[in-house]
């Protein structure tokens, strides 16, 4: 969980809003060429989903390049995170659109399970997901040879039946998220105290551990696989994105709108951003909740990524500095 990329310049992974602020002239950065600015597929997919292309202009102005996970023929990570050569962000975005064409929204129905865990009143939509799974597998395997396709459809049917049973057994009764947190022994005061501690994950686990049986702390937060659960590849960025969701569930610097369908995808994207930024020297954002959860995760796993949070104000000039210690330290000052 401590892998990071090495480049000639210090690397900064900026969130979507930072690139938008730069594009619109709302803030500026003093001598940005001292750093290598990075984005990932997560940015591109947010642009596709939200329809706002301002961030692409901010990427262009900063000369940002893409950080990417290399996949094999089975679309699994080979554990090689690379920084790609510069390509105009608008051109790269068009390539992304072509790559996902026909698969936009693939698997979106599965967010109903996550929404239910956050207390959403969505049992009707949730109940449709087993059938939707079979329909989705049927659609995306249309180009597979008949024998393999039949096998995949059979397995999808088996999974859908288990999914239906699990929904009817465990998810039929809606439980507001505050009740879930209290069932784990977490009061509002406990959560606030954890947020200000040195290691929020250690702090929160110390409170809730007696109510969680059969899994370790690393397994619960997604940093290690749970025995018996197969088919889930554990990458550094994927595990971190999962931990981000868990922190939201537990109420540690939680995002707003957790149980809302129009908010959950952006919240999931935030977790993916924290994951991809974990390979870089710094993560830059004006979103405090986002930065607080990133800091909690990085502190726990011993990651070297610097969290750079600033309070947004139009007209700000960010002046980023560098210190060489045991690890590269990036800091900043602001001026108007």
pLDDT digits (tens, 9 = 90+) for 158-217: 999 999 999 999 999 999 999 999 999 999 999 999 999 999 999 999 999 999 989 999
Across 275-282, average pLDDT: 96
Query: What is the residue-wise DSSP string for 253-300?
Result: SPPTTTT-HHHHHHHHHHHHHHHHHTTSSEEEES-HHHHHHHHHHHHH
Q: What is the pTM of this model?
A: 0.92
Which of these, 254, 291, 287, 289, lies nearest to 119 by C-alpha position? 254
Residue pointed to by tokens 């969680």? 212
* Residue 312 binned pLDDT confidence (cut-offs 50, 70, 90): very high
Residue pointed to by tokens 């709108």? 257
pLDDT at 13 over 80: yes
Q: Where are the domains of the chain?
A: 11-104+276-335, 122-173
Across 55-66, average pLDDT: 98
Phi/psi of residue 275, each to 5°?
A: -65, -50
Three-state SS for 109-163 is HHHHHHHHHCCCCCHHHHHCHHHHHHHHHHHHCCCCCHHHHHHHHHHHHHHHHHH
Q: What is the pLDDT of residue 230?
A: 62
Q: What is the pLDDT of residue 193?
A: 96
Q: What is the pLDDT of residue 232?
A: 64
Are 237 and 287 contacting, i.e. CB atoms less than 8 angstroms apart?
no
| pLDDT tens-place string over residues 77-135 | 777 899 999 999 999 999 999 999 887 777 788 999 999 999 999 999 999 999 999 99
């Amino acid at each position: 969980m401590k892998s990071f990329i090495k480049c000639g310049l210090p690397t900064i992974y900026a969130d979507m809003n930072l690139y938008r602020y730069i594009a619109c002239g709302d803030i500026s950065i003093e001598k940005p060429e001292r750093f290598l600015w990075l984005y990932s597929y997560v940015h591109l997919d947010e642009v596709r989903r939200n329809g706002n292309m301002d961030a692409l202009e901010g990427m262009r102005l900063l000369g940002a390049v893409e950080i990417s996970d290399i996949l094999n023929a089975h679309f699994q990570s080979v554990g090689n995170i690379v920084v790609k050569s510069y390509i105009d962000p608008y051109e790269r975005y068009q390539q992304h659109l072509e790559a996902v064409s026909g698969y936009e929204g693939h698997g979106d129905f599965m967010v109903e399970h996550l929404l239910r865990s956050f207390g959403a009143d969505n049992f009707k939509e949730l109940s449709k997901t087993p059938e939707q799974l079979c329909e989705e597998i049927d659609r995306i395997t249309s180009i597979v040879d008949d024998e393999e396709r039949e096998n995949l459809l059979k397995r999808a049917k088996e999974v859908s039946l288990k999914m239906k049973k699990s929904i009817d057994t465990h998810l039929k009764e809606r439980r507001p998220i505050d009740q879930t947190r209290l069932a784990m022994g977490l009061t509002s005061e406990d959560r606030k105290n954890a947020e200000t501690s040195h290691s929020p994950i250690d702090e929160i686990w110390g409170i809730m551990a007696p109510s969680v049986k059969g899994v370790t702390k690393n397994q619960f937060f997604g940093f290690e696989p749970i025995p018996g659960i197969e088919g889930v590849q554990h990458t550094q960025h994927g595990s971190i994105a999962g931990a981000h969701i868990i922190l939201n569930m537990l109420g540690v610097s939680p995002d707003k709108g957790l149980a809302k369908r129009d908010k959950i995808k952006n919240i999931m994207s935030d977790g993916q951003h924290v994951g991809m930024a974990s390979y870089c020297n710094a993560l830059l954002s004006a979103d405090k909740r986002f930065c607080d959860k990133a800091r909690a995760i990085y502190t726990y796993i011993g990651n070297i990524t610097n969290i750079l949070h600033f309070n947004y104000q139009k007209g700000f000039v960010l002046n980023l500095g560098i210190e060489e210690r045991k690890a590269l330290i990036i800091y900043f000052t602001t001026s108007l």
